[in-house]
Chain A
Amino acid sequence: MKAALRSRWAQAGLVILAIFVLVAALAPVIAPYSPTNSSFSPLASPSLRHLLGTTQLGQDIFSQLVWGTRGTLEIGFLTGLFATALGVLVGIGGGYLGGPTDSVLNALTNVFLVIPGLPLIIITAAYITTKSQLPIILIISFTGWAWGARVLRSQTLSLRQREFILAARLVGESPLRIVVSEVLPNMLSLIAANFIGAAIYGILSAAGLQFIGLGNVNAVTWGTMLFWAQSQGALLSGAWLWILAPGAAIALVGTALGMLNFGIDELTNPRLRAGVKKLPKPVPAGTPEVGALLSLQEIEAGYQTAAGPLTAVRGVSLAVKPGEFLGIAGESGCGKSTLAFAALGLLRPPGAVYRGSSYLAGVDLLALTPAQRRPYLWRDASFVFQASMNALNPVIRVRDHVLDTARAHGLPPAEAIERATALLQQFEIPAHFLDAYSFQLSGGMKQRVVLALSLLLRPKLILMDEPTTALDVVVQRLIMQQIEWILGELGVSIVFITHDFSLLVEISDRIAIMYAGTVVEQGPAAEIYAHPLHPYTQGLIRSFPPMSGERQVLHGIPGHPPGLGEKLSGCPFFARCSARLEGVCDQAVPALLAQGDQHTVACHLYGQPPPVAAPTAVGEAR
């Protein structure tokens, strides 16, 4: 909620609304006359005495407008309250309880949704003769709660299956308390939005009713003002302010409430959040590494957030040779996906590459415009997105995915299908699955379809972001075997990103270990595995319980990585490191330095400043 109120829209709406509330509260002070005082000369033009002129009956329009604010806001507030209360009761109650209760309440909601509200209001309102506004408010609430109930119900249905609700059931919480203290607090913004929507609906419906003379026309509201103005021929007599003022006031309050609602929407739907600035092209850096197919130089990338810019990748340089398998391992959130997107120039706002170059066969992809970059993508380097198997459009056949990809890159359809069939066959998927929809495929099959698509244009390089995560061990192993085939038979270079270091050892030529946006160690797979240098890598390798040998107590790495917003004055691993050197490691960021032939490590234990012994060896329990 607090975040919603930070939105510009919400703030503007709130200010306008606050002014109206103030006017309503201070009506006796602000209004110069009583709204019913008809002792002035009729139809006077605006003047200092009568800011908006007077009515046919000689009442001061400005005073009516001010007093009318009270009546109108009252209608809005009460309708919002009643309709929301009904919606919450029916929607959340039914949604949480489920079963027959829900069926009945849901049927009721649907009935109220299809009953045409306005005619019903008109008919009922015509029979009401009391002076109070309450009946009208109740009728409008009664016809207007169903939308809210439906939205709240569907939200409740999804919350009900959430694990924290199950957990509350598990500890023996009663259903009523679950709804009130576990479900409701998570629906506040929805309920607020619902309240505001109902208030708008109430104000507009009441104004409409009063305009056609229903309800108590002697009450002073903007609606009744419109009714009198209309019935006494305001326009004919040139008193157009008499109509315009209440009309504009209604529109303004409606807009203010709408803006408030938009602020809440923005909160729940970040896509609506405006104001992402277009950033300049990244500052190029370095030169392509000799003999490398892909050479990343000092990539620095991050995200623009409400709290300021974040740096997710802090200066990463890596190279992939033709036919090489580079594994990148790192914890969740260390910037692996950001790096992958940045490398191909695919990072979209709010993400941006701040600095660095990505040379693909010598061409800096980051210095190109998107249009210039397009020919290189998919044809030279393709990308298997994280969770891309779940991104396959479910209403499109595999065949059409193939044809779409082919069309986008000018590959003749017949040839595309031929290649796809061969690839699927290689991946042990029968050809008839070309005509299957993705929802008819198992997770492993979808992932293999995605792999086949990435190979369709015979790229020289494939970047794979967690291609086996969320798959079972057996399926994962089969996919890894197929990836080995791609590597061996097709000679494609592969950059394989994963959080699971254990997957990389068997298949990689080289492994890079990422931590908090930096590469902390890099080298040949066997070397990294047998002689890890960085304390983080050592900890990581120790973190896998073995499948053989005596069982012994092992320890992971306590703590967690630094936040991205944090400014680091030293090594990012400092806080968790068991071999840290106080006064050294927290003072200077270690550079990635060569240790032997192809092995590099960013750690002060090996770097220039401190001449100290290497840390304890792998496997020793701490």
Chain B
Amino acid sequence: MPVLQLSGVNKVFSVGRFPTVRHLRVLNAVSLEIAEREVLGLVGESGSGKSTLAGVISRLSLHDAGEVRLEGALVPKRLSRRQELAYRRRVQLVFQDPYASLNPAKSIHHAVARPMAIHHLPDTSADLLESCGLSPAARYLQRRPFELSGGERQRAAIARALSVRPRLLLADEPTSMLDVSIRLDVMNLLADLREREGLSLLFITHDLAAARYLSDRVAVMYAGHLVEIGPAREVVERPLHPYTQLLRQAAPKPEQGLEAEHLAVAGEVPDLANLPPGCPFAPRCPKAQPTCREALPGFVQVAAGHQVRCVLYS
């Protein structure tokens, strides 16, 4: 049974005031599953709705339509305080910016031990820090965030998320604010946690190479729509959707030598308040056909576990 199942999740943000309210359709019929011990990578450009999806899954904000199932059970929109706590024990989130996600006025011990106290768990903060690579823990427990480097802070933030021993960890671009030289070790820590703790992971990133490095499967999002999902290596190395192909082309590939690929794509991400009918990528797509602009294509199964939402493959 998958740990998490989303089906047809929609999220609309209303921005602006009365006469000029705009309804941003940030998530559009998003369906996906995360299996036990699985790392699902979620890639997409800025504004494609990745953080919003993490917000919905972590219940920082509520979806407008669709279903969220945790361990098979439907999660109702309204939860009692007890149910809420039970949910929070299973699903935790690591934020992008380790400089903003730890309270500057509080010690690392507070960050890690307070969740344990809330959930009536024994205080194992020292062991937890050690297992997240902050050792010796005694050196870190009483420090405040400003006394830690960026990588150490992100480790502390991961330790906080793990303090309630969740089943599912959502990591929202956990390495993008970190220096290149320490990114790998944070990713390795996440991989390690999956092995050791049997954690499932939603790994959000805008970096295809990082998604490939850490994930079992990769999902690609564009303007609030999932456009491709499949085994990590297939999606990254042989992308099918023209948008995924564009992402791959655009990524720096120092290992491929000195010649950059030239991009042949114009235009920008569509306005979420004013999504074009049909495929959201059609206006920019070099391979667009008239039918693309008429109706949103459905997912096509192209190989085992590899689905793409594009008329080219139907």
With known contacts A173-B118, A499-B180, A556-B185, A480–B213 Cβ distance under 8 A: no
**Cα–Cα, bound, A444→B157 (Å):** 31
With known contacts A171-B163, A444-B268, A545–B60 Cβ distance under 8 A: no
Q: Give the B interface residue count (CB, 8 A).
A: 73
Selected from B88, B101, B263, the residue in CB contact (under 8 A) with A474 is: B263
Interface string of B99-120 (1 = CB under 8 A from A): 0111111100001001100110
Q: Is the CB of A547 within 8 A of B248?
A: yes
Interface 9-residue window, one of B12-20, B27-35, B89-97, B298-306: B89-97
With known contacts A506-B259, A547-B212, A556-B185, A442–B92 Cβ distance under 8 A: no
Q: Is B252 an interface residue (CB 8 A)?
A: yes
Interface 9-residue window, one of B63-71, B123-131, B202-210, B289-297: B202-210
What are 25 A-B residue pairs whose CB atoms fall within 8 Å in the complex? A166-B95, A169-B60, A170-B161, A171-B163, A172-B85, A172-B115, A182-B103, A331-B180, A332-B150, A473-B208, A474-B263, A499-B179, A525-B258, A529-B258, A540-B180, A540-B181, A544-B180, A544-B254, A545-B210, A546-B255, A547-B209, A548-B256, A551-B213, A551-B233, A557-B182
Q: Which of A158-205 contact B (CB under 8 A)?
A: 162-164, 166-173, 181-182, 185-186, 188
Shortest Cβ distance from B118 into A: residue: A172
Q: Is the CB of A164 within 8 A of B102?
A: yes
Q: Is the CB of B260 within 8 A of A480?
A: yes
Q: Is A472 an interface residue (CB 8 A)?
A: yes
Q: Is the CB of A477 within 8 A of B250?
A: yes
Q: Is the CB of A171 within 8 A of B164?
A: yes
With known contacts A428-B266, A547-B255, A170–B181 Cβ distance under 8 A: no
**Cα–Cα, bound, A551→B260 (Å):** 23
Contacts of B206 in A (CB 8 A): 472-473
**A163, A476, A526, A539 pick with most chain B CB within 10 angstroms:** A163
Interface string of A532-571 (1 = CB under 8 A from B): 0000100111011111110101111110100000000000
**Cα–Cα, bound, A181→B210 (Å):** 36
Q: Is A252 an interface residue (CB 8 A)?
A: no
**Cα–Cα, bound, A329→B212 (Å):** 24
Contacts of A168 in B (CB 8 A): 103, 114
Known A-B contacts: A503-B252, A544-B180, A557-B181. Give 4 more (CB < 8 A): A443-B46, A540-B180, A543-B183, A551-B212
**Cα–Cα, bound, A164→B145 (Å):** 11
How far does the Cβ of A337 sit from chain B's closest Cβ, in whole Å? 15
Q: Which of B161-220 contact A (CB under 8 A)?
A: 161, 163-164, 179-185, 187-188, 191, 206-210, 212-213
With known contacts A167-B95, A499-B179, A477–B115 Cβ distance under 8 A: no
Shortest Cβ distance from B182 into A: residue: A556
Q: Is A426 an interface residue (CB 8 A)?
A: no
Contacts of B97 in A (CB 8 A): 163
Q: Which A residues fall within an 8 A CB radius of B? A: 162-164, 166-173, 181-182, 185-186, 188, 331-332, 428, 442-444, 472-478, 480-481, 499-503, 505-507, 525-526, 529, 536, 539-541, 543-549, 551, 553-558, 560
Q: Is the CB of A560 within 8 A of B151?
A: yes
| Nearest 10 Cβ contacts at the A-B interface | A185-B105, A556-B184, A171-B115, A545-B213, A477-B250, A560-B149, A163-B101, A557-B181, A502-B252, A331-B179
**Cα–Cα, bound, A162→B185 (Å):** 26
Q: Is the CB of A170 within 8 A of B184?
A: no
With known contacts A499-B180, A540-B180, A556-B183, A506–B254 Cβ distance under 8 A: yes
Contacts of B262 in A (CB 8 A): 481
**Cα–Cα, bound, A173→B115 (Å):** 8
Contacts of A555 in B (CB 8 A): 184-185, 188
Contacts of B209 in A (CB 8 A): 544-547
Contacts of A162 in B (CB 8 A): 100
Q: Is the CB of A171 within 8 A of B118?
A: yes
**Cα–Cα, bound, A188→B104 (Å):** 12
Contacts of A558 in B (CB 8 A): 182, 185
Contacts of B160 in A (CB 8 A): 167, 171
**Cα–Cα, bound, A354→B210 (Å):** 41
Q: Is B314 an interface residue (CB 8 A)?
A: no
Contacts of B179 in A (CB 8 A): 331-332, 499
Contacts of A546 in B (CB 8 A): 209, 253, 255
Q: Is the CB of A474 within 8 A of B247?
A: yes
Q: Is the CB of A506 within 8 A of B114?
A: no
Contacts of B95 in A (CB 8 A): 163, 166-167
**Cα–Cα, bound, A53→B237 (Å):** 95
Q: Is the CB of A476 within 8 A of B250?
A: yes
Q: Which of B215-259 contact A (CB under 8 A)?
A: 233, 236-237, 246-256, 258-259
Q: Which of B47-69 contact A (CB under 8 A)?
A: 58, 60
Selected from B247, B256, B263, B268, the residue in CB contact (under 8 A) with A481 is: B263
**Cα–Cα, bound, A543→B151 (Å):** 14
Contacts of B74 in A (CB 8 A): none
Contacts of B237 in A (CB 8 A): 547-548
Contacts of B207 in A (CB 8 A): 473
Shortest Cβ distance from B164 into A: residue: A171
Q: Which of B261-289 contact A (CB under 8 A)?
A: 262-263, 265-266, 268
**Cα–Cα, bound, A15→B60 (Å):** 48
With known contacts A477-B250, A505-B254, A164–B103 Cβ distance under 8 A: yes
Contacts of B60 in A (CB 8 A): 166, 169-170
Q: Is the CB of B233 within 8 A of A472?
A: no
How far does the Cβ of A486 sit from chain B's closest Cβ, in whole Å? 15
Q: Is the CB of A474 within 8 A of B119?
A: no
Q: Is the CB of A172 within 8 A of B105?
A: no
How far does the Cβ of B62 sit from chain A's closest Cβ, in whole Å? 13
**Cα–Cα, bound, A443→B47 (Å):** 12
Selected from B92, B163, B210, B255, the residue in CB contact (under 8 A) with A548 is: B255
Q: Is the CB of A477 within 8 A of B236?
A: no
Contacts of B164 in A (CB 8 A): 171-172
How far does the Cβ of A273 sit from chain B's closest Cβ, in whole Å? 18
How far does the Cβ of A267 sit from chain B's closest Cβ, in whole Å? 14
Contacts of A164 in B (CB 8 A): 100-104
How far does the Cβ of B136 sit from chain A's closest Cβ, in whole Å? 15
**Cα–Cα, bound, A475→B46 (Å):** 10
Contacts of A171 in B (CB 8 A): 88, 92, 114-115, 118-119, 160, 163-164
How far does the Cβ of A217 sit from chain B's closest Cβ, in whole Å? 46
**Cα–Cα, bound, A493→B207 (Å):** 30
Contacts of A172 in B (CB 8 A): 84-85, 88-89, 115, 118-119, 164
Shortest Cβ distance from B260 into A: residue: A506
**Cα–Cα, bound, A181→B185 (Å):** 32
Q: Is B45 an interface residue (CB 8 A)?
A: yes
Q: Is the CB of B255 within 8 A of A173?
A: no
How far does the Cβ of A475 sit from chain B's closest Cβ, in whole Å? 8
Contacts of B251 in A (CB 8 A): 473, 477, 547
With known contacts A163-B95, A544-B180, A478–B106 Cβ distance under 8 A: no
Contacts of B89 in A (CB 8 A): 172
Contacts of B101 in A (CB 8 A): 163-164, 166-167
Q: Is the CB of B114 within 8 A of A173?
A: yes
How far does the Cβ of B221 sit from chain A's closest Cβ, in whole Å? 13
Q: Is the CB of A506 within 8 A of B252?
A: yes
Contacts of A444 in B (CB 8 A): 268
Shortest Cβ distance from A502 into B: residue: B252
Contacts of A166 in B (CB 8 A): 60, 95, 101
How far does the Cβ of B204 sit from chain A's closest Cβ, in whole Å? 14
Contacts of B208 in A (CB 8 A): 473, 547
**B85, B111, B246, B253 pick with most chain A CB within 10 angstroms:** B253
**Cα–Cα, bound, A186→B145 (Å):** 13
With known contacts A163-B100, A481-B263, A185–B258 Cβ distance under 8 A: no
Contacts of B114 in A (CB 8 A): 168, 171, 173
**A442, A472, A474 pick with most chain B CB within 10 angstroms:** A474
Selected from A474, A499, A560, the residue in CB contact (under 8 A) with B250 is: A474
Contacts of A332 in B (CB 8 A): 150, 179
Q: Is the CB of A473 within 8 A of B247?
A: yes
